Amino acid sequence: MKRVKKAAKWTGIVFAGAFALIALLLLDRFSAARHAAPQIQGEKEIASPLGSGVTLSAPVTILRDKNAVPHIEAQSEKDALFALGYAHGQDRLWQMELLRRVGTGRLAEVFGPPALSIDRFFRTLGFAHLADDTYAALPGRMKELLDAYAAGVNASMSGRDKPLPLEFQLLFHEPEPWEPRHSLVMVKMLELGLSANAFDEIARARLARDLPPTSFQEFFGVEEELAPFLVGELGKLFQKAPLTKTARAWPDLGPIGASNNWVVNGEHTKSGKPLLANDPHLGMLAPSLWYLVHLQNPVEGETRNLVGATIPGIPSVLLGRNDRIAWGLTNTRPDSQDLYIERLNPDNPDEYETPDGFTAFKVREEHIKVRFGSDEVLSVRATRHGPVLPEETVAGAPSLEEGHVLALSWPALEPGDLTVAAGYKMSRAENFTGFLEALRDDYVSPMQSIVYGDIDGNIGFIAPAHIPLRGPAHRTKGLMPAEGWLRDNDWTGIIPFDALPQLYNPASGIIASANHKIVDDNYPYQLALDWNAPYRAIRIYELLEAGDDFSAQDFADMQMDNLSLFAARVLPLLLEHLPEAQKETAEGKLLAAWNHSLDAEKAAPLIYAAFLHELPKTLWADELGASFDSYKSPRSDFLLSIFEGTRPNTHWCDDTQTEETESCAAQTGKAFEAAMAGLRETYGEDPQDWTWGAAHPVINNHIPGGSLPFLKNWLSLETPSAGGIHTLNRGQYRGSGARPFANIHAAGFRAVYDFADLDSSLYMISTGQSGDPYSPFYGNLLEDWAAGRTITISTRKDVYRKGALGTLTLRPADG
């Protein structure tokens, strides 16, 4: 017994000592990270050559203004991009390290086995190999600029005399040098995040197993004659497939990007010059995905300026303006991806069937290093359509019935994607003709609805990308995975550039897009099958057509508009179906008196959101069964079809799990009761104490800190916010989980470009410029963002030097 007690005592001492040692080690790391702030004042000598023989040709200055926005003054474009890489590396190194590791499939080297499924996915897509191919195909000038940027990033790392940022300290990790291909991988990541409609095909395939043809047709609004084939003949291939597990094994790419943009000519403005507004909606991160910058360098003897939003890792202003033009992007959400069911040769699983017989897969091996685990060799197969998605999920289940695999077809996976070159040329264009020519040959993906304006008073629009053409005999029209062995399902080409949607100086003087259908029913090509609901676009046109003397501030105010036209349409229908007793509750009265504006200080938006998100559980959860998880959010058009009676869809109100037939009124009341019970439990009994802003805080999530209990409240940034899914001030939420109404997808960047004086244009990002949580500029813009306030970024030295934080001069070491 004494020996046992003695052993227990020493065991406790060892554990306590180990815990104390770890605590001291982490404390030391936290302490080191406090001193990671980059040098922003003085001079730095830059040794040469750097990287691929890259040299800094002349001194370049990086002045950070009072908002920490770098103003880069260089003597050449290469030096300007070198300095941009330097500033990105100083301020956002962890963000760049994380995103390049995701895109190259090298997360497990840092995070261990939990990251393997993500690495397998991105190794399968082969972004790193595609980036190498793209770099080899780029013109020499573009290679030089990518090399200069990479050299700047590396100079910021090799030349720092401060500790690495906090994330590197806590993970005991040091970054490798930045390579030009890493910037191209970042472009691929952006393309994927704005193009992932293939996952919709999987969700529809799951549902095709559970619904009869009529219900499938009603739920998706597909052509009546197509539904029986999708649910019947094709659906049989998925009968044994554990698609729910398969879908969950793929990385969560978050909501597909949304956005608003609009431009008006001088007939609608106080100044008589165009105004252009843009606010892209993406996942909210800390730090923000976006980083503001001003680049200045001479071109052909003239000083040229480029101002706007960059994504650290990509050497270009993606959204912004030069001295003559401005542009703004929204996601078109085209049907640019298809999944193909490939049938294996039963006598040789190394072959798959084509219209001309069986042929061998193309195979490559990917070696994945795993921290704290065993390294893995992944065999990646590809068919004539594209890479074969992993056959097994993390649970070890096949993605299709035996003898079949899924391959992904997407123009961005084909050789010749020079989108990065098109983006560069677009930002340097001086008129609409040059703008179009910049995009014509090289722009592949993602399809974006781009509005344009210039100082000469012109406005325009183009939606560029390589969008596949499907023949009239294509069996699924892109709605679901198609049989890869049938020639009729092959793509027949891409939509010609000149046939893509475009406008120039329309008679109305107004152009706008908000992910809605941008072509009419007579458009001869299939752009998309699943457009966003048009309520934001309708609201934009409603506001623009009501005025003719707009200022830049008016447009900034429009971006913060909280009125939901969908709520104005659907809520009266829901209230009609509520029992009288529920209408007379405090919550019912607040809804009835509500003006449909999702303002932060009101309770009614919270009541409405909870009510709306409870309805799918009572209306279609019983029919969808295991597939409900993919469609648990309210589907606006389908919901309206039930309550407006535009189609005979009221049978969806019946609960198929009971013997009696439930009415829509009964199910509406049931949803309302459940929603209010949940709100009372979470926010208290008195709805007068509830506010939308408290329930709907914007959460700028830090990765990985946002998942760590002891760090997330510090590293992730949040504040109450307004707006909702259908408002211009977009604030998307999941509607489920511990914080169901948290704002996770919104306008991380807002801008209004004023052609009366481009230096008076307005900007805002959702956090701050710095990625260092110890920096005062990590979250300094958060409250301004939520309140709709803006900043300016002048190109005039006498303006941006006032109150500047510091000026760093980079000098070539050889003088």
- Burial (CB < 10 A; 0-12, 13-18, 19+), residue 659, is exposed
What one-character-per-residue DSSP string does 795-812 give? --HHHHTTT-SEEEEEEE
Distance CA 625, CA 130 (A): 39
Question: For residue 812, is it left (φ>0), alpha (ψ between -120 and 50) or beta?
Answer: beta
| DSSP assigned state of 161 | -
Q: Which of 717, 552, 129, 586 is nearest to 366 (CA)?
A: 129
Contact (CB, 8 A) for 620 and 635: no
Set 215, 259, 288, 564: catalytic member: 259
Please name the amino acid found at residue 748: G
Q: How far is CA 541 from the centre of its chain?
A: 25
Do the annotations mark residue 338 as ligand-binding?
A: yes
333-352 in b/e burial notation, b at 16+ Cβ within 10 A? bbbbbbbbbbbbeeeeeebb
Distance between first and last Cα of the chain = 77
Measuring CA to CA, which residue among 96, 68, 218, 200 is closest to residue 153? 96
- Report d(CA 734, CA 139) in Å as an integer: 44
Nearest to 259 by CA among 314, 200, 319: 319
Q: Which residue has the tokens 């676009």?
A: 537
**Cβ(725)–Cβ(734) under 8 Å?**
no
Residues whose CB is less than 8 angstroms from the CB of residue 302 and which lie 6 or more positions away in sequence, other chains included = none
CA distance 428 to 81: 14
CA–CA dist 653, 656 (Å, integer): 9
Residue with tokens 């926010």: 683
Q: How distant, in Å, are the alpha carbons of 7, 30, 258, 478 from that of 469?
A: 74, 54, 24, 10
Residue with tokens 């998942």: 707
201 is known to lie in a ligand binding site: yes
Cα distance between residue 449 and residue 453, in whole Å: 14
The Cβ-side half-sphere exposure at 665, using a 13 Å CA radius, reads 8
379 is annotated as an active-site residue: no
The 3-state DSSP class for residue 108 equals helix
Q: How many beta carbons lie within 10 A of that of residue 491, not counting itself? A: 16
Where b means 16+ CB within 10 Å and e means fewer, 468-485 reads: bebeeebbbbbbbbbbbb
Contacts of 192 by beta carbon, 8 Å cutoff, 6+ apart = 125, 253, 412
Place of tokens 């959400």: 333
Say if residue 437 carries a ligand binding annotation.
no
Give yes or no for a contact between 262 and 544, defined as CB atoms under 8 angstroms apart.
yes
Contact 101, 109 (CB under 8 A): yes
**Which token pair is 659?**
């013997």
- Give whole-number Cα distances, 527 to 221, 441, 519, 669, in Å: 16, 19, 9, 39
Angle at 526 between CA 508 and CA 530, to 5 degrees: 85
Give me the active site residues, please.
259
Annotated binding site: 201, 335, 338
Annotated binding site for Ca(2+): 201, 335, 338
